[in-house]
């Protein structure tokens, strides 16, 4: 299967999305609950990226394949939890 991006770019994008989740709610003035939820997900998402076995990984304990298999569930959780909490 032809992959549109390589693992290094994928993790770089994940780091950027993590940062946006952390600072985005504050920049948009969404309130304390949104800030807390955004920070929680941003830190978890960033930590997963940092632990992924790529050239941009820090500890490299999570295989890139495992990282990819976790993403659909984490993206769904980010959508559902924010909606349920009103964040």
User: Has residue 30 been placed in a domain?
Assistant: yes
User: Has residue 60 been placed in a domain?
Assistant: yes
pLDDT, residue 87, reads: 66
How many domains does the structure of the chain reveal?
1
Residue 82 pLDDT class (50, 70, 90 cuts): confident
Q: What is the pLDDT of residues 5-47, one digit of tens each?
A: 999 999 999 999 999 999 999 999 988 888 999 899 999 999 9
Closest CA to 11 of 47, 41, 54: 54
User: Has residue 1 been placed in a domain?
Assistant: no
User: Has residue 50 been placed in a domain?
Assistant: yes
Is the pLDDT at 1 greater than 70, yes or no?
Answer: no
Note the pTM of the prediction, 2 decimals: 0.86
Residue 4 CA, chain-centre distance (Å), reads 19
Range of the domain at 14: 7-85
């Amino acid at each position: 299967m032809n992959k549109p991006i390589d693992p290094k770019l994928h993790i770089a994008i994940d780091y950027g999305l993590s940062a946006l989740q952390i600072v985005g709610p504050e920049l948009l003035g969404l309130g304390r609950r949104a800030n807390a939820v955004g920070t929680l997900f941003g830190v978890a998402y960033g930590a997963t990226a940092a632990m992924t076995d790529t050239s941009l990984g820090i500890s490299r304990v999570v295989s890139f394949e495992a990282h990819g298999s976790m993403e659909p569930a984490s993206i769904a959780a980010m959508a559902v939890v924010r909606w349920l909490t009103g964040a």
